[in-house]
Amino acid sequence: MPELDLSASSVDLTRVICDIPSVSGDEKTLADAIFAAISPLPHLDVYRDGDTIVARTQRERSQRVAIAGHLDTVPINANLPTRDIEVDGAPYLWGRGTVDMKAGTAVQLKLAAELTDPRVDITWLWYDNEEVDSERNGLTRLARTRPDLFAADFAILGEPSNGQVEGGCNGTMRAVVRTHGVRAHAARAWMGENAIHRAAPVLARLAEYRPREIAVDGLVYREGLNAVRISGGVAGNVIPDLCEVEVNFRFAPSRSIADAEAHMRRVFEGFEVDIVDAAAGARPGLDAPIAREFLAAVGAEARPKYGWTDVARFAALGVPAVNYGPGDPLLAHHDEERVSYAQIEDVERSLRAWLSIP
């Protein structure tokens, strides 16, 4: 099992944990290494559920902050092991997971080890299966088995945000829009009805759709409605009787799941629509005093989070939550995924200053 030296710099720690492959569903080696490094620390109470690890200080402070980071990555595509590169003369660490989100996780691990007497109590959460279906997510599982571990006055998720604070997140919904036809031999197509051809109006509605920008608690969220997959066909000489268009709707956190579903059904009125997955968004959460204090302390400008993140899980429990971590989110999942040394160090410095006793 690889060993983690939590006294190493946050950049070096990022390199080490990135070089432990942990594609969703294969986080055990990294989880084992984190558990072995964190468990001996006397100032932390450590709990493990599968490949999700929770470590808590118990200083009886008046406030508690939850700080979370996921261990998994999307599949590797010839971008491990990591390597050092320069971009415009500045040092960067290149490789899968550097942005999403092992740089943020590395910062958290280092601070968890070194902040033995923080000014607030801290719950550190490192969890598995963030990049896949919600039901497999380590926080989903933990919410069922130990909901008490989510208790906090404020939560920070280390998702890449370019070192800025991104409040809340959009919701997300996936639906399958189906068209039906009648099978026939392709040489006698007039005997059938082509389900793929019948999907043309579905695609036309998507092409003509104009997403809205919606202000929520001072931040402007951009929505999106897009086809992400299309399937149909039986054989090269058969008129297909079924076509399915999978559609993803990213909706502002002012909409509920029910509102989002109603909107989807209006857009695709006249077609069979099957909702297959949905997760509510999270309002920015920046009106809480502790959130405003955090924003001022790190000197960051609040921005909206367009993607869905696990801040929504905390928001659903009444815990205001933000995204704050190193890495450009535009490079998340990219084959040229890379993060600057400076941004890792800046996020560590800002979090350390805010969490430390003055």
Q: Which residues are catalytic?
A: 72, 130
Q: SS3 for 310? A: coil
Please report the DSSP string for 202-226 in residue order. HHHHHHH----EEEETTEEEEPEEE
Q: SS3 for 318? A: coil
Burial of 127 (0-12, 13-18, 19+ CB in 10 A): buried
190 Cβ contact partners less than 8 Å away, ≥ 6 residues apart:
184
Six-digit token string for 78: 């010839």
d(CA 47, CA 49): 7
d(CA 50, CA 4): 19
209 phi and psi angles, rounded to 5 deg: -65, 135
Tally of CB atoms within 10 A around 351? 25
CB contact at 8 A, 21 and 129 = no
Nearest to 319 by CA among 61, 120, 52, 66: 66
d(CA 250, CA 211): 9
Q: Which strand (E) or helix (H) includes residue 56?
A: strand 52-56
d(CA 230, CA 223): 21
Chain-centroid distance of CA 34 in Å reads 20
Q: Which strand (E) or helix (H) includes residue 14?
A: helix 10-18
d(CA 20, CA 30): 6
CB contact at 8 A, 288 and 259 = no
Question: Would you mind telling me the total number of residues written for the chain in this entry?
Answer: 358
d(CA 140, CA 325): 22
